[in-house]
Structure formats: C-alpha cells, structure tokens
Amino acid sequence: MKFPRKSISQSVMLALSSIAISTMVAPIAFAQSDSEEDEAETIQITGSRIARTELEATSPVFTVSEIQLEMDQAVTVEDIVRKLPQAAAGANSTGATVGDSLGSSTIDLRGLGQNRTLVLVNGSRVVPFSFRNAVDVNSIPAGLIKRVEVLTGGAAAVYGADAVAGVVNFILDDEYQGFETTAGYEFTDGGGETFNIDATMGTAIDNGRGNITAYIGYTKREELLAGERDFTENGPTLVAGVGGNFSDVTSGNSFAFTESGNLVDDAQFVNITPQRYLIQPIERLTGNVFFNYELFEDKIEMYGRAMFTQVRVTGAGSTGQTPVTVNEQVLINSDNPFLTPAISDLLTFDADGNALVSVQKNLGFGLQETRTVRDTLQFQLGFRGDITDFIGWDIYGQYGRTDGTAKVYNNGIRTDFQSIADTRNIFGPSDLRDLSSTLIHSNRERIQSVVNLTISGDSSDFFELPSGPVGFALGYEYRDEEGVQTPGAALASGTAYGLGGISAIDAGFDTKEWYAEVLVPVLSDLPFIKELSVEGAYRHSDYSNVDSASTDKIGLSWAITEDLRFRATQQSAIRAPNLGEFAGPEVALSLALFDPTSPSFIPRLGGRFDGDPCLDGRGDSAQCARLGAAAPGTPFDTAQAIYTFGGNDMIQPEESETTSYGIVYTPEFVDDLDITVDYYDIEITDAVSQIQPIAALTSCYIDDPVEGNPLCGAVLRDPSTGLISQTLVNDFNLAVLSQSGFDIGVRYGFGDLGEYVKGLQISYQGNIVDEQSRQNNATVAALDCKGTFGTSCTGDFASIVQADYRHRAWIDFSVDAVDIQIGWRFIGEVDAALDDSISIDSQSYIDIAATYKFAEKYELTFGIDNLFDEEPPIPEAGGNFFGTVSDYDVIGRTIGLTFRFRP
C-alpha cells in the first residue's frame, strides 16, 4: 500500500473527471476494472481519515479550486472566505468587531460563530491566536493554497472538538516542483490599496526520493478612512472640541471655545467619523517550507512543515478609536492665571474665591489606535509507512505558537483633571499632548501542541465482503492548549483613559482522544443499487478541565445508478470550552460605554443596552415595583453602573446533532451537467451564551414581566436608589441554537459557442436557510433568527447578518488565449431581529475577471470586484460601525492586476 503524501492530491480531479462539480465536490463511486484499481491512487477526503480509491463521502464537501483562487486574485484568505455562501463575516478587515479581534480575520460558518468552525491546513489543526480558539487566517499563505475544502456540519468524531459548524481545510501545495513568482496590485477609490508579491519554489531531491517546497510572500494593505466614503456621513461620531465646553454649575452659564480659540456661547463638537478606519492597514510577511523524504524506499516516509507569518495591523482595539475626552467638574479659583475677564464674568465665585465648573473637553491627543504585531509559528514532523500491502500508519507531532504584542497610541495615564485645571490653561485649544503616552494593551502567547497517530487501510489482508474490503482508521490524539495574556498595567488597573477591560490570563488544558472509523461496502451491481456503503465513526475525548465526552457519526452512500447518488449522515459533535470561556477573568467596564445617550458611548459597542425600561416608561409597572426599580423619570447616570463579563470555570462542553441528506445527479443523457442538493439540520444544546443587558431588561420588564423570570437576575439594582448598578454578561451553558436549510450546487457546460467563444460553463452554489432560531435559555421563547440582522441572534464573533439566502453564481468561457469569468454574489433581504419594520434590502455584487496567458511562461489576470460600486446598506438601527454591517462590501469597486511568471 502506498500512503498518500498529501491529504488531497490532484488525482481527486482525475478520479472525478466525468462527474466533477466545480461548485461542490459530489462524490460518486463507479465500478472499476482491475487495471483501473491498480492505477488509482489512495486519497483522503476532508471529513474522513480513511484512505480510499473511490470518493464515497457521505457528507457534502464544497471545494474552491486553484483556478478559482487565481481568478479571484486572492491575496489573503479573507478574500476567499468572504465569497463563500456558507460563510458569514466573522472578524475581518473592517474592524467592526469587539477589541479581542486585534486586526484578525476569522471564519464563521453558517453564522454560528468563529469558535464553532475548525480550521485545518492539509488536514491538521492551525494554532489559534485568541483565547476563544479562533484562528487568524491571515497566517495562512493564500498564494500557496491549492484548494479550499469546506465541510459544513459537525465533524467532531473525525477531528475532535470545535468542528460543530464545520471544517475549513486549506490544502497547500507541499510538493511543488519548479519556480513561480506572482506580483499583484489592487486599488480602489481613496485608499485601501493592496500590494502583494510572493515566490514559490520546489524541487525533487535524491533522485525523486523526496521533495522540498519553499514559499515566501509579502503583503501590504493601506488604510481606507471613513471620510473617503459617502455612506459614512450619516453616522457622525461627535466628541467635544479641543477648545472645550464649560458650564458654571451655580448660574448655569454655558460657554465654549472654538478650535481657533474664540469664545462662543454654543457648545463645540467635532465629527471624528471621517478619520476612523474603514479598512485597517496591514503588513504581512510569511515564509513556509514543506518537505518529504523516503527514509527507506517504499517503507517509511518522513515529512513535515515549518510555517511562519508576521502580521502588523493597525486598528481599533478594546479602547476603540474615540479621542480621549474628560467630562468632569472642577474648582476654578478667581486667582487662576488663565482666566480672562470675559470668562470670569460668566463664573460664580464663592466666599473662598472658587467657582464650580463643569468641563467637557477633548484633550487633543488625536484618535486612538491599537497597533498589533503578531507572529505565528508552526512546526510539524511526521513519519508514515506500510504495515502490510493494505494497511499503513501515520504519526506526527505538531507545535504551534502565536505571540502578539498590542500597543495603544494617543491614550495616556489618567491624570487628576483638577490638578491640570490648576496648572494648565484648559480654556481654549491648549496643547495637552504631553499628557499622552503609548500604553501596552497586552502581550499574548497562545500555544498548541498535537501528537497524532493513525492506522488505516482495509481488510484485504484478512477478508473481503462480496462488494469489497472493509476500510478502517484507528487513532489516538493528544492535544495541549496553553494561553498567557499579560495586560498593560494602565489598562488592567483602569488608570488609562477610556476603555480598559484587559485582564491577565494564564491557563491551559489537555485532551486525550481515541477515535475509530469504518467504511463497509454493503451491496454493489444490483438493480437500483450500483453501490451501497455505510460509514461509521466514534471518538472519546478525555479533557483535563471538563467532563469527558464522546461523539459519533453514521453515514450512508447509495449510488442508485451511475447517474444518481443518495447520501445521508447523522452525527453528534461537541465543542469543549475554550480558554477564554472557562478561565477568562471577570472584567468590569462602565455601562456608559454601551449607552447611546452617554458622551462616553462607543458606537461599535452599540445594541447591548438601550436604557432602563422602568425609568423611560416602557416597563411593566408591577414588575418594576416588584424588583424595587426607581420611579419613571428618575435621572440615571450610567457612568455609575458597571458592565461585567468573563469566563466561568463551571462551564461544560456544548453538544450538537447534525443530520444531512443529499442527492448527486449527473445525468448521462446531458453532457456536463452536475447537480447536488443537500439538506442539513444542526441543533446545538448547552451552547455557551451571554445575556446582554438589552435582552435581559426586555424579557424581565416588557416581554415576560412575571415574578421569578430568571433573566431579571442578570441586571442588579442598588437597593437604596433602585437604579441599575451592574449587568452580568458572563459565559454559561444556556442557549439552544438551531439551523436547517439546503446547500445547492449546479454546473452546466455548454461547450463551444461558435468560432470564438470556447468552453462556456455556468456554475452556481447557494445556501437556503429553512429555519434558524436562538433560545438564550430554557425560560424564554426561541427567537426566530431566519433572515434577520442584529446582535440578538449572534454568538461569539458571529456575523450579525443571518440571511436566509446567499449565493454565488458565475460564467466561465474563453476567447482565444483569454479566460473570462463573470460572477454574481447575492445576500438576501434581512429584517432587524427585534423589529421587522427595520430591514435591509437584498444586495448584489458583480465581479469580472480575465486571465491572459502568453509566451507559455507568463500570465496576466485583470479583475474588478463590485463592478457597479455598490455601497453597503445603512439600517436605521441594529448595525455596528457607521450603522452598516461587516458582511457587506464597504470598500466599493476594487480593481486588481496580477502578473504571474512560471519559467
């Protein structure tokens, strides 16, 4: 038995040449002659560890080909993921996410959350960057990707925890031979330009006994500021001017200073939205080496890889971008040397010569920004070989580490403003920039170690069933996860200006797992049963930090005829709590940061609190009285309340059940037509969830104002005042998430049309959501999330857009030496999750690309994404950054040019 050197080789496409589906791998197995079986190469399929000579996968696997990647001019993995109908936004370059993303790009399959999507490279795990177990896919070299395979649905029985929503497997070309270099440039109006250059080289060594492949790449993406786009004009962010706004507390006299220093009556504010990042600038350097070598010919092969990526990104961390301002009362003495007669006439001095003055002032530091440097390193060394002609073994060890340092600029150590008012001129645009300093946001280490042993093959050495041998895989995996975060002293202690909320973490856990798979050919070559096989998988996981868990899978693959195949799976999956969930400390922030009516409000934190229903009259009066709330109209300063969140050391694994049924139809009487339709149903129970204050208050006082509503306990009140004192947003196993729908793939080749148009082909892949709901806990009704947007239906880093229909369709054809593609991306209409009177219309994007090959060595690709320069929608409420949402294209029309040289 020859063990494969890569998890998916080019022979996949050869084996499926008559039935290949460009939009979705639709495996159909055919009877083969003995000679064909001898020539077929064993392969592995994403979602299984059993090597086989025929593709008999029971779960649908969607594939993005290398040709498609070149047409898309994918510079980063984010460029790939944002066009997948099965994937939602996750964290991305817009930075419209919470501060823990730190400029990362993550994958969110089905909109179920980045923490429920497992990311692999060549079939093995990629080291996460965060404590929420998310992988920054910026660390994966896009230029080396040969294919992307997406399995949507649980796969924990095969790969272990985290594969609840599915698996994304990036197949890198680790056996490249030759030399290739690529240079690309993408630009848009006003900023956001991207430049990329890379080189791939590889060669056989020792007369073909091995191969070594090397890749190096450099990418730079410039900033795109919000002021370059008209749609941001309706989302102003007003902060006090640097001149300051003042009010004499005793008399109520108000005055302000303009930026030029003129004394005026009206308060002065400045809109800082135009200076915000719409696209975060990034600089990336990556180097990778892959090798394999036969230590003993046809006996043992050694293989491995070393991957390094450094990412430098500037954006909005947990402190946001809002400039540092103060809003305090100070005493101004009549002897203050900076007072002018005009100011003194507006102040009321007491017998001691002091006037109490309310001050609202921008300190003039400029917009805050967080600069992150993140190094990702991963090593793998493995050995594989044969036990018999039909059984092989594979063992590898893997070590990955992500080190990140984040610094906050244009912030500083908080200084007593009274002392500033006594010694500095606060009246007018005085220069206070010397009070600013660079602060450490955090230093982070994230380590993942894996040891895996698999024995796989088939039963040919011992027996064969009438329809063939039984395939199997047995294995053991040990995985160790560690994370250390050291926050900057000022952010940890709260002595910095603005939002801190960064705490120390030093935690880890390990898991020991046994797994087994079996593939049984049941029947073949019978009427209506060309081939029938059953697949099963089981994994037992023993965790050091939570209870042990088991997962299983059973699947059916039934080729009714050579034209039609039916497939089905039933599987369970788990997601073990990540480091942030079970070991994250409780962090306290001012509730004013979440209050849209507060001067301290941070727009990207919107949608989590909208006021106290008992104070503004929305709440049930009996419930408000029962819980001791203050009377309607009572003044409430949210700066006096806290918003707390963090982990929970009592948390347990999530559990899920996934069912899928599918058909693959490739009619012999219609050339080049392939159709796949797969139905899926995913239900996640004991899902880790947090109750945001807006949801808890709405349930307690408006929707379900009954005694004993447990959500009332998520918001605490001061017994002496009846005002909110604390909101609790910790992690608990509370929620039930469910989603069902259809994945559809179609490809039809028309062939040549006339003398000039050659190889015309249309392709389509779409996702239709049939039902989707989120039940935050057993005491409340499930929320219908199908076709909605807003934070009410989201989980950890999940997209806030839950469209019930998405697709990507495209047409390919050639004219002479030019390959042309025209694509159409579509996101269906969505309504606000809690108010269906607010909606976002469906969005369409047209992309075009053309590749010209000349002189055999050169290739030039020209493309335009978002051809008609569609702007993102601006909902009336429920959005995030500038009111828009990050699933939509905020860049506008992008023009790209890529030159490729293959000598």
The pLDDT assigned to 45 comes to 67
The closest of 872, 850, 846 to 859, measured between CA atoms, is 850
The Cα–Cα gap between 713 and 510 comes to 34
Across the chain, mean pLDDT equals 87
Task: Read off the tokens for 666.
Answer: 């490739």
- Per DSSP bridges, beta strands 801-802 and 805-815 are unpaired
The pLDDT assigned to 796 comes to 58
pLDDT at 510 over 70: yes
CA distances from 660 to 663, 677, 808 (A): 10, 10, 22
The pLDDT assigned to 6 comes to 34
Q: Does a structural domain hold residue 330?
A: no
The pLDDT assigned to 787 comes to 94
Alpha helix (H) residue ranges in 134-251: 156-159
Question: Do 488 and 436 reside in the same domain of the chain?
Answer: yes
pLDDT at 22 over 60: no
Question: Do 741 and 757 reside in the same domain of the chain?
Answer: yes
CA distances from 508 to 171, 447, 582, 684, 688 (A): 29, 9, 10, 25, 19
The Cα–Cα gap between 8 and 172 comes to 10
Q: What is the pLDDT of residues 559-587, one digit of tens each?
A: 999 999 999 999 998 888 888 888 887 77
Q: Answer with the one of 702, 730, 758 that is the final residue of a domain.
A: 730
Q: Does a structural domain hold residue 772?
A: yes
Q: What is the pLDDT of residues 92-149, one digit of tens each?
A: 777 644 446 777 888 888 888 888 889 999 999 999 988 888 888 888 888 888 888 8
Q: Percent of the chain, pLDDT > 90?
A: 60
- Give the 3-state secondary structure of residue 600: coil
Question: Do 533 and 562 reside in the same domain of the chain?
Answer: yes
Q: Does a structural domain hold residue 347?
A: no
Rg (CA), the chain: 30
The Cα–Cα gap between 115 and 866 comes to 30
The closest of 592, 633, 799 to 81, measured between CA atoms, is 799
The Cα–Cα gap between 49 and 55 comes to 12
pLDDT band at 35 (very low <50, low <70, confident <90, very high): very low
Q: Does a structural domain hold residue 490?
A: yes
Asked if residues 92 and 105 have their Cβ atoms less than 8 Å apart, the reply is yes
The Cα–Cα gap between 732 and 795 comes to 12
Residue that wins the pLDDT comparison between 235 and 529:
529
CATH number for the domain including 742?
A: 2.40.170.20
Summarize the confidence of residues 293-310 as an average pLDDT: 92
pLDDT band at 7 (very low <50, low <70, confident <90, very high): very low
Domain that residue 128 falls in: 11-225+280-318+371-422+431-581+652-690+732-901
Question: Do 726 and 744 reside in the same domain of the chain?
Answer: no
**Any idea what DSSP says for residue 700?**
I
Q: What is the pLDDT of residues 641-673, one digit of tens each?
A: 999 888 888 888 999 999 999 999 999 888 889
Question: Do 29 and 168 reside in the same domain of the chain?
Answer: yes
pLDDT at 783 over 50: yes
- Give the 3-state secondary structure of residue 203: strand
Q: Does a structural domain hold residue 327?
A: no
Q: What is the pLDDT of residues 361-391, one digit of tens each?
A: 999 999 999 999 999 999 999 999 999 999 9
Q: Does a structural domain hold residue 239?
A: no
Summarize the confidence of residues 769-788 as an average pLDDT: 87
The pLDDT assigned to 834 comes to 80
Summarize the confidence of residues 242-262 as an average pLDDT: 96
Whole-angstrom distance between the N-terminal and C-terminal Cα of the chain? 35
Asked if residues 770 and 741 have their Cβ atoms less than 8 Å apart, the reply is yes
pLDDT band at 12 (very low <50, low <70, confident <90, very high): very low
The Cα–Cα gap between 609 and 595 comes to 6
Question: Do 747 and 895 reside in the same domain of the chain?
Answer: yes
Q: Which of 65-74, 126-135, 711-720, 778-787 has the lowest mean pLDDT?
A: 65-74
Q: What is the pLDDT of residues 585-610, one digit of tens each?
A: 777 888 998 999 887 787 767 788 99
Summarize the confidence of residues 869-882 as an average pLDDT: 80
Q: Does a structural domain hold residue 843?
A: yes
Q: Tell me how far the alpha carbon of residue 593 is from its chain's centroid.
A: 24
pLDDT at 34 over 50: no
The pLDDT assigned to 39 comes to 39
Output the 3-class SS for 531-571: EEEEEEEEEEEEECCCCCEEEEEEEEEEECCCCEEEEEEEE
Question: Do 17 and 103 reside in the same domain of the chain?
Answer: yes
Asked if residues 881 and 224 have their Cβ atoms less than 8 Å apart, the reply is no
The Cα–Cα gap between 270 and 752 comes to 61
The pLDDT assigned to 11 comes to 30
- Per DSSP bridges, beta strands 830-832 and 788-789 are parallel
The pLDDT assigned to 13 comes to 30
pLDDT at 407 over 90: yes
Question: Do 602 and 632 reside in the same domain of the chain?
Answer: yes
Summarize the confidence of residues 322-342 as an average pLDDT: 93
Question: Do 553 and 630 reside in the same domain of the chain?
Answer: no
Q: How many domains does the chain have?
A: 2
pLDDT at 493 over 80: yes
pLDDT band at 302 (very low <50, low <70, confident <90, very high): very high
Beta strand segments in 776-854, E: 783-784, 788-789, 801-802, 805-815, 818-827, 830-832, 835-840, 843-854
* 453-468: b (≥16 Cβ within 10 Å) or e: ebbbbbbbeeeeeebb
Q: Answer with the one of 682, 699, 730 that is the final residue of a domain.
A: 730
Task: Read off the tokens for 121.
Answer: 């490279």
What φ, ψ does residue 511 adopt, rounded to 5°? Answer: -140, 140
Q: DSSP letters along 653-691, please? A: -EEEEEEEEEEEE--TTSTTEEEEEEEEEEEEEEEEE--
Question: Do 25 and 65 reside in the same domain of the chain?
Answer: yes
pLDDT at 25 over 50: no
Beta strand segments in 363-470, E: 369-386, 391-411, 437-458
pLDDT band at 19 (very low <50, low <70, confident <90, very high): very low
- Per DSSP bridges, beta strands 642-646 and 724-730 are parallel
**Tokens 């009487």 label which residue?**
669
The closest of 571, 775, 515, 737 to 153, measured between CA atoms, is 571
Residues 6+ away with beta carbon under 8 Å from 401? 127, 376, 377, 378, 445, 446, 447, 448
Q: What is the pLDDT of residues 68-84, one digit of tens each?
A: 888 787 777 777 878 88
Q: Percent of the chain, pLDDT > 70?
A: 92
The pLDDT assigned to 86 comes to 86
Q: Answer with the one of 676, 699, 730 that is the final residue of a domain.
A: 730
The pLDDT assigned to 1 comes to 36
Residue that wins the pLDDT comparison between 828 and 297:
828
pLDDT at 524 over 90: yes
Summarize the confidence of residues 766-787 as an average pLDDT: 88
Q: Which of 59-68, 179-188, 287-296, 305-314 has the lowest mean pLDDT?
A: 59-68
Summarize the confidence of residues 209-218 as an average pLDDT: 96
Summarize the confidence of residues 261-282 as an average pLDDT: 93
Summarize the confidence of residues 467-481 as an average pLDDT: 96
Q: Tell me how far the alpha carbon of residue 853 is from its chain's centroid.
A: 35
pLDDT at 898 over 80: yes
Residue that wins the pLDDT comparison between 117 and 153:
117
Task: Read off the tokens for 621.
Answer: 């009066």
The Cα–Cα gap between 125 and 813 comes to 37
The pLDDT assigned to 57 comes to 65
The pLDDT assigned to 746 comes to 95
Q: Does a structural domain hold residue 878?
A: yes
Question: Do 739 and 724 reside in the same domain of the chain?
Answer: no
Summarize the confidence of residues 389-407 as an average pLDDT: 96
Residue that wins the pLDDT comparison between 709 and 435:
435
- Per DSSP bridges, beta strands 757-775 and 732-753 are antiparallel
Residue 427 is which amino acid? F
For 802, counting Cβ atoms within 10 Å of its Cβ (0-12 exposed, 13-18 middle, 19+ buried), the class is: buried
The closest of 611, 615, 617 to 598, measured between CA atoms, is 611
Question: Do 848 and 873 reside in the same domain of the chain?
Answer: yes
The H-or-E segment that residue 862 falls in is strand 858-865
Give 378's strand partners: 307, 400
Q: Tell me how far the alpha carbon of residue 19 is from its chain's centroid.
A: 33
pLDDT at 638 over 60: yes
pLDDT band at 200 (very low <50, low <70, confident <90, very high): very high
Residue that wins the pLDDT comparison between 464 and 103:
464
